[in-house]
Structure 1
Amino acid sequence: MAKFFAKFTAIAILIAAFAGCSSTSSNSSMTVGAPASSFAGIDQQVRFAPWSGQSAVGQLAKPYFISFRARNAESYGHSFVAFGELDSRGNVPYDNGGVLVSDMTEIAGLHPAGGNAVYTMGHIAPVPSETGFSDGDTEIRYLQNEMTIALTPEEYRRILGRIRQLQGNSPLWHAVAYNCSSFTNKIADFMGMETVNHLLFPRNYIAALKDANSGVETLSGSVDTLG
């Protein structure tokens, strides 16, 4: 039995090393990666326009948004969703420092609840999770890929209800069986989108999600692909 467990553990760690998303809570240094602009091999340039100072609510037909996102980290990266109000120009609101405006936006994403020891154990067995903000989620300099969709008030209320439901019913994280991209897949599925392999690296997961849902109308977002 001991030999079997050791073999299983080694296989689980090997799979996780090549698997998609593995993020940690804001208490762990594993979430602190290099800015996306200096990420090894990155093929995208990050830019943003500071928000207009006014919300789109009451001004635009689709004043809300949900953004499926991947960010850099020292581990494999992290996939999550940002959501909330657009600004009056129809842009995702960032302050002058490239940080999401906190009173207009929110983050939901699955990650281990604890530090590096919990994160490491999550490659072997399920560990307790958190489903909100993790370090680096709001900063555009860590953003690697995104798919942003504008929403009507009714669409937003429905999707927000599903996010809250998932946040209340996702007590565990596992690097392979149920990771951050598994969580975002459930949101995409609720929206009627095609879901993709949750074991892809997060930035590749978002790229695959966009390819699988090319007919979905999206905002230009904040990530430009270099020619």
Structure 2
Amino acid sequence: MTLVNSRLLLVALVALPATACQTKDLPPQPNFVSSADGGAAPQKKDERYFIEFRSRYALSYGHTYAVFGRLDRAGRMIDPQVAGLHPASNSAVPYVLGHVVPVPAETGWSDGDLEEPYRSASWQIILTRAEYDKVVAYIRKLQASSHVWQATVLNCNGFVADIAHSMGYKTPAIQLRPQQFITELREMNT
């Protein structure tokens, strides 16, 4: 009986990412900006902080991550930082293996994260300095404790969902494609 249950679990773990791969990404979705409290965060123009939940296109089904930092007077990012969970390799082998078993992971920037043509969806939230400090502290704690990636249960969507949940936001299922995940995250909370 245990052997049958183990096989069913393996089939389910392989099937989940395969079903997610069957949908197609939409054209890039426009940028959306809101404040953490749902209104306009009153701040001095030179002391604006943000977190932006993003998805980007990739050779596979994409990637979900967070960009955070300060904004200048014109609303442009100043030295943005990136946090996202992905296999710790440029090789495709850990990525493929990670659809079956957990593989070593990194939690920072990955190629294409800040390149505008690859962005598929985003939701930027303007934060006060206190809100920003709290979010960054949580991100650093999450980065320190996230050492493996697995496509169905320890993926980039789950990493971003943990950050959003720590901020009090509702989060969609982590098995969605990245663009769909970010779009639903934004729609559930705005």
TM-score of the pair, normalised by structure 2:
0.82
Question: Which letter maps to 1:18?
Answer: T
Q: Which residue of 1 aligns with 2:35?
A: none
Of all paired residues, the percent bearing the same amino acid is: 37
Q: 1:154 to 1:4 in 2, by over 3 A?
A: closer
4+ runs of 1 displaced by more than 2 Å? 1-14, 40-47, 58-62
Q: Which runs of 5+ in 2 are unaligned?
A: 32-42
Query: Structure 1, residues 70-118: CA drift from partner, whole Å, max 9, x if none?
Result: 00001110000000111112x243xxxxxxx6xx101000001122111
Displacement after TM superposition at 1:152 (Å): 1.1
Question: Which letter maps to 1:170?
Answer: S
2:65 aligned residue (73, 80, 93): 80
Q: 1:41 to 1:147 in 2, by over 3 A?
A: closer
Q: Is the 8 A contact 1:126 1:173 kept in 2?
A: yes
Query: Structure 1, residues 121-172: CA drift from partner, whole Å, max 9, x if none?
Result: 1111111110000110010110000000011111111100000000000111
Q: 1:1-227 counterparts in 2 under 5 A?
A: 9-19=10-20, 42-44=26-28, 59-60=44-45, 63-89=48-74, 91-93=75-77, 104-114=79-89, 115-214=91-190
Q: 1:127 to 1:63 in 2, by over 3 A?
A: same
CA RMSD in angstroms comes to 2.5
Question: Which letter maps to 1:140?
Answer: E
Question: Which letter maps to 2:54?
Answer: R
Question: Which letter maps to 1:110?
Answer: L
Query: Structure 1, residues 14-55: CA drift from partner, whole Å, max 9, x if none?
Result: 3212237xxxxxxxxxxxxxxxxxxx76333679xxxxxxxx
CA separation in 2, counterparts of 1:64 and 1:84? Answer: 6
CA separation in 2, counterparts of 1:111 and 1:77? Answer: 11
CA separation in 1, counterparts of 2:25 and 2:181? Answer: 16
Q: Pick the structure with more helix per residue.
A: 2
Q: Is the 8 A contact 1:123 1:175 kept in 2?
A: yes
Q: Which runs of 5+ in 1 are unaligned?
A: 21-39, 48-57, 94-100, 215-227
Question: Which letter maps to 2:189?
Answer: N
Deviates further, 11-20 or 144-153: 11-20
Q: Which residue of 1 aligns with 2:38?
A: none
Q: Is the 8 A contact 2:149 2:155 kept in 1?
A: yes
CA separation in 2, counterparts of 1:4 and 1:123? Answer: 19
CA separation in 2, counterparts of 1:81 and 1:18? Answer: 25
**Number of residue pairs matched by the alignment:** 175
CA separation in 2, counterparts of 1:162 and 1:92? Answer: 24
